[in-house]
Amino acid sequence: MLEQDKLLHGFALLLCISLGSLLSGIAVSEIPLGSKLSVGESTSWVSSNGDFAIGFYNFPDQPKQFSVGIRFNSKSVPVDKQTVVWVAGGDVTVGNNSYFQLQENGELVLFDALQGEEVWTSKTSQLSVALAVLRDDGNLVLLNENRDVIWQSFDSPTDTLLPGQRLSTFRTLRAASQNYVSSLYSLYMNVSGQLQLKWESSIIYWSAGRPSHSNLSAVLTSDGSLQLVAPNLERFWSVFGEDHNDAVRFRFLRLDVDGNLRLYSWMEVSQTWRSVWQAVENQCNVFATCDQQGICAFNASGSHVCTCPFHHAVQSNSKCLVSSQHDCKPGSIMVEHAKMFLYGIYPVHDFISRTSLDKCKSMCLSDPSCTAVTFTNDGSAKCRMMKTQYVSGYSDPSLSATSFVKRCSDPLAADPIFPLKSPPQAHKEPYNICIPCLVGAASGTIFIFIVIQLGMGFYLYKRKNNYRRLASLAHSRPGSKCLIMLSFTEIKELTGNFNDQIGPKMFKGALPDKQPVAVKELEGTIEARKFRAAVSKVGSIYHKGLAKLEGYCCEFNHRYLVYEYAENGSLEKYIENPTLAERLTWRKRMDISINVGRAIFYLHTECREFLCHGNLKCENVVLDENFEAKVKEFGLGMLYGEASSRRASAQKDVEDFGKMVLTLVSGFKEVKDVLDWAYKEWMEGHPENVVDKRLKNEVDAEELECALRITFWCLQADERVKPSMGEVVKVLEGTLPADPPPPPFSCLISAREVEDTSESGSEV
């Protein structure tokens, strides 16, 4: 509990509102159209009871970056404890002279004066908004003339829930970002009625509720309980804080930056926020709680600490990385760490097999890519193999796990150096020496040597500067969240002067540590400020189904993006090449569909701010060495000013995804030419006729039915009936049924029929 209080106290101090930001407010029950809050003005909009206020604030370590947020405002809570509970746009920050306004058209807008553009809006300009109200429960609402709620902040939470606020299906809380990087921790309400804590999007390390009830919501009650309830308020699960039913004025539930979900109560006597419940009792059980700082353990006082027990680990910028040297000349050894459980992060693809402890160690020693293994035997012996430098985990005296970390053998032990005997002295004979000759020869030699050294020194100095920066990029792989800015000269170094082209304006390159990368050339006319803002946003996103953006070049008229390299290239070439297509088995095609769907779903719902792909196609899906799909070139629409509504952008991604799935099923690249035929074959009960003829008799009939149904739903002409990406993924995973879809282009077909009828009538 002491550790939790320290965490909350530190976070409150970090969010201490700067003087002149939110210290004074205007108590208004209603906020009329045209109302504005500006950076630098000591004003805010306050709820009628004075408990909450909305306005600009900043962090002490970012004095020139501001956000708009709702915070506690009660006089009984000191200023440095007035926690922010909602932020407009999540991680969005703006500069001086920016403003937040309820415009005359009914849209809330956050305008950044530094960029000269709107960075967040409520997207309500067409919904007849008449006014706004910051309610006494901390909910900012937009109302029409009939006082109906058109939009509310409670429907778009950031990292906090207030009493009465619901987290409904597909909604997400995401922990606050740190060092300009979005957090990988999220709280998610899934369609099966489970509340889940996730790291990245695939690791679930805590869940509540049973996967049997649909349409449930998580809600925090005013008496201090967290519940899962149905629309009729029937309760299916609940948990209570230590002060349940006590007279507590303020409470909130927050997903903290350490990945734990906590319920906080305001203690009037001590004037502090106190954690009265947390989801994961043992902080070390929070996945990757130490991230790249080592493993989690508890000290003598009972507080969790992050330590680096790997004595021969690579220490890079305070990171704790295990060795990845696979060319150890004296050989490798396995260093034992008892009572310790390890797992890989960045990426999280651990290989688990059932085997003995000795076999587990030998498997790692014989595999050049293996860095560590963990052996457990809690009824069945399991070996977890890691193939990454980025290893985390936890240790505890009660654990039955034993881990082994690979490192090079001690060179002295492997190849001892013995003292060498002095060579026998040769018999010396007297010689006549020409002193002037020696002086002249020595002077000339020294002069030539100095000239050569200066020339080589200058050349190596320039090369060293380049390679220092290139090495920094190399050390950031494979899981670093740092985005490296490169010069055009460094881009040419990476690509060998663009010698190996692997696609349209795409070149293969290599880092100094031989790690391959893919370099994408973009139009040099893209505005530099817009380019940097876009790549900064895209570069902070990490998902195993998305090609990681490692770096970029924005120099003069040069614009390049540096991606992680996928060994097997684009999906498109496997569709077009008859020989390569045989490697795309039915199982792999379905796995590719699901992985790409999950990646797009992550962009739509699990990033701090909605992001669309905008150009999803087989060409922009690449396959790594394990044939796992990764989506590249996502979010590039921001670079070209392609602005559209969130709904329209999401629907375009859904439609493009449907086309890609039909391509994978049928083998036809241009699906518009076969769509009507494919639907007709399916309707007549012959879905197998749609399947790519290059596939052998390996197609799963149920999977084919699901794939075709969801494809036809994605390609509906009526955008109102198109599914969300979350629903698409659930259907492909087999956890959500799909009804038989109508003809995909029914609206267009009807239009053609009407046109044909009118022409026939004219002839008559």
**pLDDT exceeds cutoff 70 at 480:** no
Torsion of CA 539, 541, 546, 547, to 10 degrees: 20
pLDDT of residue 475: 40
> What is the average pLDDT score of the chain?
81
Give CA–CA dist 20/42, Å, rounded: 5
Domain 27-156 has CATH 2.90.10.10: yes
155, 347, 614 from 477: Cα distances, Å: 37, 10, 27
618-639: per-residue pLDDT in tens?
999 999 888 899 999 888 877 7
Comma-separated ranges of CATH 2.90.10.10 domains in the chain? 27-156
Q: Which is more confidently placed, 200 or 359?
A: 359
CA–CA distance, 110 with 508 (Å, rounded to integer)? 40
- Domain span(s) for CATH 3.50.4.10 in the chain: 323-408
Q: Reply yes or no on whether the pLDDT at 417 is more than 60.
A: no
Contact 218, 195 (CB under 8 A): yes
More confident residue, 308 or 636: 308
All CATH 3.30.200.20 domain ranges in the chain, comma separated: 484-564
Dist. CA 219–CA 227, nearest whole Å: 5
Residue 124 has pLDDT above 90, yes or no: yes
Kindly report the length of the chain.
764
Q: Is the pLDDT of residue 60 over 80?
A: no
For position 240, what pLDDT does the model report? Answer: 92
Outline where 556-645 has alpha helix (H). 571-576, 578-581, 586-601
What is the sign, positive or negative, of the torsion defined by CA atoms of 184, 187, 188, 192? positive
- Position 230 pLDDT exceeds 70: yes
Cα 300 to Cα 225, 260, 305, 341: the distances in Å are: 32, 22, 10, 20
Contacts of residue 342, defined as CB under 8 A and 6 or more positions apart, other chains included, come to: 295, 372, 373, 374, 384, 386, 391, 392, 393, 403, 405
Residue 448 reports pLDDT greater than 80: no
* C-alpha radius of gyration, the chain, whole number: 31
Q: Where is average pLDDT lowest: 258-272, 320-334, 426-440, 604-618?
A: 426-440
d(CA 54, CA 62): 19
CA nearest neighbour of 722 among 730, 732, 711? 711
Q: Is the pLDDT of residue 2 over 50?
A: no
Q: Is the pLDDT of residue 313 over 60?
A: no
Query: Does the pLDDT value for residue 736 go beyond 90?
Result: no
Q: What is the predicted pLDDT for the residue at 581? A: 87
Mean pLDDT within 587-595: 94
pLDDT at residue 143 tops 90: yes
Q: Which residues of 578-613 are buried (b: 16+ CB within 10 A; e: fewer)?
A: eeebeebebebbbebbbbbbbbbbbbbbbbbeebbb
User: What does the buried/exposed string (b/e) look like for 626-640 if buried means 16 or more CB atoms within 10 Å of the residue's CB?
Assistant: ebbbbbbbbbbbbbe
pLDDT at 543 over 60: yes
Q: Is the pLDDT of residue 398 over 50?
A: yes
CA neighbor of 12 nearest in space, from 107, 106, 80: 80
Question: If you classify domain 484-564 with CATH, what class do you get?
Answer: alpha beta
**Could you report the per-residue pLDDT of 7-35, keeping only the tens digit for each?**
544 444 344 444 334 444 444 568 999 99
pLDDT for 100 beyond 50: yes
* pLDDT tens-digit map of 276-303: 999 999 999 999 999 888 999 988 777 8
**Number of Cα atoms under 13 Å in the Cβ half of residue 214:** 3
Domain 571-733: give its CATH architecture. Answer: Orthogonal Bundle (1.10)
CATH number of 323-408: 3.50.4.10
pLDDT at 379 over 90: no
Q: Is 539 exposed, middle or buried (0-12, 13-18, 19+ CB in 10 A)?
A: buried
pLDDT at 762 over 80: no
Confidence of residue 439 (pLDDT cuts 50, 70, 90): low
Closest Cα partner for 367 from 322, 334, 345, 410?
A: 334
Question: Where do the CATH 1.10.510.10 domains begin and end in the chain?
Answer: 571-733
Question: What is the pTM assigned to this prediction?
Answer: 0.58
pLDDT confidence tier of residue 191, bands split at 50, 70 and 90: confident
603 DSSP 8-state letter? I
pLDDT for position 50 = 94
Alpha helices in 294-391 (DSSP H): 357-366
324-348: average pLDDT: 83
Could you give phi then psi for residue 63, rounded to 5 degrees? -65, -20
Res 422 pLDDT > 90: no
Helices (H), 327-478: 357-366, 411-414, 435-475
| Measured CA distances, 256 to 5, 82, 203, 403 (Å) | 12, 16, 17, 29
Note the pLDDT of residue 556: 83
CA 557 vs CA 431, 525, 554, 565: distances in Å: 69, 7, 8, 25
Cα(73)–Cα(76) distance, rounded to whole angstroms? 8
Average pLDDT estimate for 192-199: 91
C-alpha–C-alpha distance, residues 637 and 612, integer Å: 8
Cβ pair 680, 689 in contact under 8 A: no
State CA 11 to chain mean position distance: 23
The pLDDT tens digits of the residues spanning 71-81 come to: 999 999 999 99
Distance, in Å, from the CA atom of 225 to the CA atom of 237, rounded to the nearest integer, reads 10
Q: 761 pLDDT exceeds 60? A: no
Which position has the higher pLDDT, 598 or 745?
A: 598
The CA-to-CA distance between both ends of the chain, in Å, stands at 87
Q: Is the peptide bond before 478 cis (omega within 30 degrees of 0)?
A: yes
Name the packing angle between helices 646-666 and 701-714 (round to 10°): 140
* Whole-number pLDDT of residue 16: 44
pLDDT score recorded for residue 646: 67
Q: What is the pLDDT of residues 500-522, one digit of tens each?
A: 998 888 999 987 667 899 999 98
Residue 71 pLDDT: 96
